[in-house]
Amino acid sequence: MTRRAHPARTNPAATPRPSPAEMAAAAGRTIPDVAAPDLMVLFSGINPSLYSAATGHHFARPGNRFWPALHGAGFTDRLLHPSEQHLLPALGLGITNVVARATARADELAPEEFIAGGVLLAERVGRLRPRFLAVLGVTAYRAAFGRPRARMGRQAETISGVPVWVLPNPSGLNAHFQLPALITEFAALRTAAAATAGH
């Protein structure tokens, strides 16, 4: 079962929105992972947005559906604000990225960056040993791990011995998946991860 917590609610209004200048200055910046050993799921984004890099919070850009999908799928008891990312490890969840450097768009990343990022991500997964690695974006997964035919869902291959689940990219720019469809995909992962509890 998912580890549950009822953390105090923070005030999102207390988190200032970065200015355009602050976001421009965040290009190339990195964000520390939110992670710990033995998590239920380690979620890996493609790379941080400029908005996220400017705030220091993963999936912080307005319109990103990661946090609503996480809540809708039952991973969290309430909708968390990106500034509450530090609460995730207590729930058995973590966040990292395939590529560390922030860009305005993921298509600014070079193929070599995905390959190098995949190597580093595999090393990270090997150290942390989550129950599942969830990569948020099938194109990024294909590029990072040389799996050109990969599809959404659980993969036949593992990464450093850890089962892999590919989820849709929750960015607001991904028009192929609206929130209800994202929640369905996230919920399938949650069901699989919960089924492995205690094994």
Residue of 81, 101, 28, 69 lying closest to 174 (CA atoms): 69
Beta-carbon contacts of 180 under 8 Å, excluding residues fewer than 6 positions away, are none
Active-site choice (6, 11, 57, 58):
58
Active-site choice (6, 11, 47, 71):
47
Catalytic status, residue 47? yes
Task: List helix spans (H) across 89-178.
Answer: 111-128, 138-145
Largest CA distance in the chain: 49
Catalytic status, residue 58? yes
How far is 89 from 71, CA to CA, in rounded Å? Answer: 15
Task: List helix spans (H) across 37-96.
Answer: 50-55, 66-72
Burial of 13 (C-beta count, 10 Å sphere; 0-12/13-18/19+):
exposed
Q: Across the chain, how many H-helices and E-strands are there?
A: 6, 5
Residue with the two structure tokens 């039952």:
74
Give the H or E element holding residue 83.
none
Beta-carbon contacts of 153 under 8 Å, excluding residues fewer than 6 positions away, are 165, 166, 185, 188
Residues identified as active-site: 47, 58
